[in-house]
Amino acid sequence: MTALTTLSELPSHYAIKLNDNMAIKLEGEQADSYLHGQVTVNINALDENTVRHCAHCDNKGKTWSISYVARHNNSIFMLTNKDAGSHSLAQLNKYGVFSKVDITDETNQYTQFFLGENLAQMLLNTYFETLPSDPLTSVHSEAGWVFKSDTRHNGYYVVLASSLTSEFEQKVKDTNGSIFEQNVYDAIMIESAVPSIQETGISEYVPQMMNVQALNGIDFDKGCYMGQEVVARTRFLGKNKRAAYSFSVPKAVHVKAGDTLEKQLGENWRRAGMVIRTAELTEETWFMAVLSNDTTEQDIHRLADQVEITCYPSPLPYSIEQAKSALVKNRK
């Protein structure tokens, strides 16, 4: 695998092998209705060519995982990182015994890649008749499926049958493409303020505290699901006071999920929040942290365990503001 110095040094032809990601499959007569009652988006309205961000929560509205959810071959897949995915898989199986649904870990059956746009256009026509043109839309074949990302670095997320992995990696090398490790993908996602959670962040945050609503990852009118009452109340009563922000440091720094971030207030420093996602490159470090949602780009922060490392939050690529709900007015 090739090392990368900074995100700005990404070559025009690259692939990232997502070894830390997992694929959870749900299939069966009640797969739709069951998952609909588990995650924050409307599964009943999910079509074959649409991919959604979503959260899977406990009954208190605290997040177990954040994932992409999509259909493929008459099944529904959740694509997420292994830490959070293992929790979701266990909880899905725990409650799934009461429904006609089979829930399996398909991570070994598929290999997940993220491809830069140029390389994708060169290679993927071998496996798919066409490439999706709009973000979070997918196309399918016997080889697997691919969807266009909604990240600042244009690219394609590929879920490929594992039997084709060696062949595919050789094709990348034959085009002089670089193959990077998972940390580069994590940096791309953090740059675009797309959250995920590691072990330390599981069951800590309501989805809105990690901006899931800003990614169209919560359907507030979909009806009941695990944690729905808390998630809805957080919105309709305006109770959420937190949000996730991205940071970059122009050197390699060891930061891990669970680390504390402090904010400067006058001459003092106060605890601001916790790191939830990290990516360390050769000469650049990226991380996301959950902070007060009135944090500004002018607020200086530092790592509590490495006080010499100071940084400012990057501008969010989307709005975290939520329109007031008509339901609140109707209650008056």
pLDDT of residue 327: 47
Residue 48, φ and ψ in degrees, nearest 5:
-65, -25
pLDDT (0 to 100) of residue 238: 79
Q: Which domains does the chain have, with CATH numbers?
A: 13-191 (3.30.1360.120)
Which tokens hold the place of 240? 């959420």
Which ranges of 116-212 does DSSP label H, i.e. alpha helix? 117-123, 165-174, 182-191
Query: Strand 285-292 and strand 242-249: pairing?
Result: antiparallel
pTM for this model (two decimals)? 0.94
pLDDT tens digit sequence for 144-153: 999 999 999 9
The reported pLDDT for the residue numbered 154 is 94
In sign, the C-alpha dihedral spanning 111, 117, 123, 128 is positive
Q: How many of the other CB atoms lie within 10 Å of CB of 9?
A: 11
pLDDT tens digit string along 231-258?
Answer: 998 888 878 999 999 999 999 999 999 9
Bridging pattern class, strands 14-17 and 178-180:
parallel
pLDDT at 323: 52
Q: What is the pLDDT of residue 332?
A: 37
pLDDT of residue 137: 98
Counting as low any pLDDT under 50, the low residues of the chain are: 327-332
